[in-house]
Structure 1
Amino acid sequence: MTPIQCKMARVALGWGTRDLAKNASVSPDTIARLERGERLRDSTVDVVQAAFERAGIEFIPENGGGVGVRFSKPKD
């Protein structure tokens, strides 16, 4: 997950940085640092990404059209 994907996912869900921090069990400062592009532990980025995925966000990797996010399809 890139910093811009983090911002896009937050906006898609209508979450502020405090909402994301609460859902990921990290501090709001950690979210701000992530979105500024500061280097964080991979495990920290993983827990933030997992919070988004639990909320229904899917991350789109670089595929020639740039990275992105979208809502995942509901599981059957």
Structure 2
Amino acid sequence: MITSRQIRAARALLGWSQQQLADRAIVSLNAVARLENGMVDSRISTLQAIQKALIKAGIEFLDADQKGEGVRLKSPKS
């Protein structure tokens, strides 16, 4: 499951506001703000919608390991 820090970092890589992410994930702005502040939304579907929107935009989530969690923007395909 992605973390609030990963969501914030992914938005920063894309240059998106919270509103843009909410629009693309079809969730409320309040839900995005709560998740980014670490207040877990009771609906898993909200988190999944956000993750799906970010992946569709080219974000790749890196699982936490010995080096820590992260995100990266996929290279455009030639």
TM-score, normalisation: structure 2: 0.90
Partner of 1:42: 44
1:1-76 paired onto structure 2 within 5 Å: 1-40=2-41, 41-74=43-76
Matches of 1:61 and 1:21 in 2, distance apart? Answer: 23
Deviation at 1:74, TM superposition (A): 4.5
Question: Please, which runs of 5 or more residues in structure 1 have no aligned partner?
Answer: none
* Identity of matched residues, %: 43
Tell me the secondary structure at the aligned position of residue 62 of structure 1: coil
Matches of 2:67 and 2:37 in 1, distance apart? Answer: 22
Aligned structure 1 segments of 4 or more residues deviating by more than 3 angstroms: 73-76
TM-score, normalisation: structure 1: 0.92
Question: Please, which runs of 5 or more residues in structure 2 have no aligned partner?
Answer: none
